[in-house]
Amino acid sequence: MDFALTGEQEFFRQNVVRLVDDLVVPRAREIDQKDEFPRDLWEKVAGLGYLGLRYPESVGGMDADNLTCALFYEEITRGSVGFAQSVIMNMLMGTDLVWRFGGPELRERCFLPAIRGGKIATICFTEEQSGSDLGGTQTRARREDGRWILNGKKTWITNGPLADFACVLARTGPEKGLAGLSFFLVEKGTPGFSAGQNIPKMGCRGTVTGELVLDNVSVPAENLLGGEGSALVALEGLLDQIRIMTGAMACGVAEAAFRDAVRYARERVAFGGPIGKNQLIRAKAADMAARLSAARLMVHKAAWLKDNGRDARTGAALAKVTAVEACLFIVDETTRIMGAYGFAEEYDAVRFFRDARFLLYGGGTHEILRNFAGRNILGT
């Protein structure tokens, strides 16, 4: 067993650490308070090639494996959850299907500009009546004169109001449940495709989240991503990556909060000495460190399983659940260590506490994922 990163992975991580410390961390509070997408920061990250991290060098990417991507997800999130969510949506969910299933024209027009920062991408699963229940999808697509006509409304779409194109999940067949679902690429400016209301959020500020409306949106046949009814096959491997990503993001928030808690415990003087000399504060630090280490190991193992062609479905689901629950514990303990200052907006602990809640829902709720993992474990 070898828990060390390769020299190449460690070199990559250190470069991302410097990027985050120099450019993202100093802007994190501003991003949170203004709740505006920092396009200038986006352009800097894009200029360094990170939006193409997952993709082959032949198209301008870095050809990184899942573990290397997890290192990036954690560090960029340590800087700012809101900004990280916009970046990761573009580099993972928003572009994956176009790369794998899009024809040459779609790749040239949408995919390549997206991984270079010239366009913003998103993916559309969620509807008002269906979140984790993709089988409840009501957005529909029908054939008409060699084209596809889409009708429906998507909500909770990260980057939605800003997106230049979206991969939209729609029902193409009469089947109920998960059968008969397909993905379509829909570009901004297509008649009938519009942004609905933005959704104000408790945390994860700086990424724009909102509704996308499809009113008799007509797209050409080549905008069908994969074969008709192939959505579940297309998602099979992507969902594991989304769960690994969400777990890595949780480690990033937890790491940032943990560092603040340690710093405060060393500097805060009460009853004649730093509060970090008190046994209960030491116990809190130990518990936080243990949960963060366990979470990170589970995320890295799930990424390793994926990289080595192993079945990562259960591992990815449990890594996501474990990492996010560890993050929620750590951000809460940080506010307790800081006392009243953990309730003050001038301290980052409040932001960490708010942001951590967002991670509960991305990649599947914990109730859904525990049921999924338990079914796999029990074979029932």
Q: What percent of the chain has pLDDT over 90?
A: 92
Radius of gyration of the chain (CA): 21
Range 121-229: architecture per CATH: Beta Barrel (2.40)
What's this model's pTM, rounded to 2 decimal places?
0.96
CA 332 to chain centre: 22
Report helix, strand or coil for 188: coil
Q: What is the pLDDT of residues 172-188, one digit of tens each?
A: 988 777 889 999 999 99
Residues of the chain above pLDDT 70, percent: 100
- In angstroms, the CA 93 to CA 299 distance is 18
All structural domains of the chain with their residue ranges: 7-116, 121-229, 232-378
Per-residue pLDDT at 237? 79
Q: Reply yes or no on whether the pLDDT at 135 is more than 90.
A: no
CB distance 319 to 306 below 8 Å: no
Using CA atoms, how far apart are residues 334 and 341, in angstroms rounded to an integer?
Answer: 10
Four-way CATH pick for 7-116: 3.20.20.140, 2.60.40.1180, 1.10.540.10, 3.40.50.300: 1.10.540.10
Q: Are 240 and 260 in contact (CB under 8 A)?
A: no
Mean pLDDT score, 3-27: 97
pLDDT in tens, 77-121: 999 999 999 999 999 999 999 999 999 999 999 999 999 999 999
Whether the pLDDT of residue 332 is over 90: the answer is: yes
pLDDT value, residue 176? 76
Q: Could you tell me which CATH class the domain 232-378 is placed in?
A: mainly alpha
pLDDT of 173 reads 84
pLDDT at 216: 98
SS (H, E, C) 100-125: HHCCHHHHHHHHHHHHHCCCCEEEEC
Mean pLDDT of 205-217: 96
pLDDT of residue 125: 92
Q: CA–CA separation, 18 vs 24, rounded Å?
A: 10
Predicted local confidence at residue 130, as pLDDT: 81
